[in-house]
């Protein structure tokens, strides 16, 4: 199932992915509300990418007592280049995990179990928010186009732990 990954060895720490992510979803540039992030240690320049592994992980869905995290069908067709493009092709079908805001009561169980720390409480809507692959056009990939870098990549897992379809 498709999901985004940040290659920590290639990432340069420009944060373009976070900026684009927040602008796409929040109507303005606000990395504190990005759905993925690259943690950069400015002193050592070490980088760690944090992205949602979607249905290949699905720990948030397992933890949710309200069935508020649901799998939705998606076709991902990223703009521009990405490292796995040759292997995956221009587009990939599968499921993405999204928050059903009518069911989410912001209990926080999912925040505690996310292994990559990328599901959060939305400060104004008071519900969980997470990566939804931008309706199939991931902005993080679109803005990681330095041909020498291409750190934000699309991956497709064979394993699919989530089952519930909205």
Partner 1 sequence: MDFYQGRVLRIDLSKGTSAVEPLNMEWAGKYVGGKGLLLRYLWEEVPPNVDPWAPENPLVIMTGPFAGTNVATASRVLVGCKSPITGILTDSYSGGSFAPEMKFAGYDAFIITGQAKEPVVVTVKDDVVAFLSATGKYSGLMTSEIEAALRADFDANAKVLSIGPAGEREIPWACVATDQYHKAGRGGHGALMGRKGLKAIAVRGTGRVTVGDAKAFLADMYRMQGENVLIPDNLAQYEEGTPVLAQIMSDAGIIPTRNWSTGTFDGIGTINSESFLKIRTGNRACTQCAIACRQFHEAGGVVGEGPEYETIALCGANCGMDDIEALMKFNHACDELGLDTISSGSVVGLAMDLTEKGVKDFGLHFGEAEAYLQAPELIAKREGIGAELALGSRGLAAKYGRSELAMEVKNLELPGYDARGAFGMSLSYATSDRGGCHMRAWPVGDEIITGTLAPDSLEGKAAYVISGQDYQAMKFTGIWCDFWAAGLDQMALLMRHVWKREVSEEELRLVGERVWNLGRLFNLREGVEADTVPLKFYAEEYAHTEGPPAGKAIGAEALNSAIKEYYMLRGWDAQGVPTEAKLAELSIDVRL
Query: Does residue 27 belong to the site contacting partner 1 (CB under 8 A)?
Result: yes
Region from 14-22, 59-67, 108-116, 153-161 binding partner 1, contact rule CB under 8 A: 14-22
Distances (CA, A) of 67 to 9, 58, 97, 115: 36, 12, 11, 19
| Residue 13: CB minimum distance to partner 1, A | 5
| Residue 53: CB minimum distance to partner 1, A | 23
Find the DSSP H helices in 31-138: 59-63, 85-88, 109-113
Query: Does residue 124 belong to the site contacting partner 1 (CB under 8 A)?
Result: no
| Residue 48: CB minimum distance to partner 1, A | 13
| Residues forming a β-bridge with 3 | 155
Residues near 65 by beta carbon (within 8 Å), at least 6 away in sequence = 107, 109
Q: Which residues bind partner 1 (CB under 8 A)?
A: 12-16, 19-20, 22-24, 26-33, 40, 42-43, 45, 79-80, 139, 142-149
């Amino acid at each position: 199932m498709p999901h985004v990954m940040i290659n920590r060895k290639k990432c340069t720490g420009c944060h373009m992915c976070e900026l684009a992510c927040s602008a796409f979803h929040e109507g303005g540039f606000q990395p504190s509300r990005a759905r993925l992030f690259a943690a950069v240690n400015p002193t050592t320049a070490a980088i760690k990418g944090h992205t949602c592994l979607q249905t290949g992980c699905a720990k948030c869905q397992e933890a949710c007592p309200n069935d508020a995290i649901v799998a939705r069908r998606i076709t991902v067709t990223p703009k521009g280049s990405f490292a796995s493009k040759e292997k995956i092709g221009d587009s990939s079908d599968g499921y993405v995990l999204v928050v059903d805001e009518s069911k989410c009561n912001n209990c926080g169980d999912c925040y505690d179990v996310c292994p990559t720390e990328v599901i959060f409480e939305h400060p104004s809507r008071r519900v969980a928010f997470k990566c939804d692959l931008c309706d199939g056009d991931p902005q993080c990939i679109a803005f990681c186009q330095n041909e020498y870098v291409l750190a934000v990549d699309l991956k497709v897992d064979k394993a699919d732990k989530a089952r519930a379809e909205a």
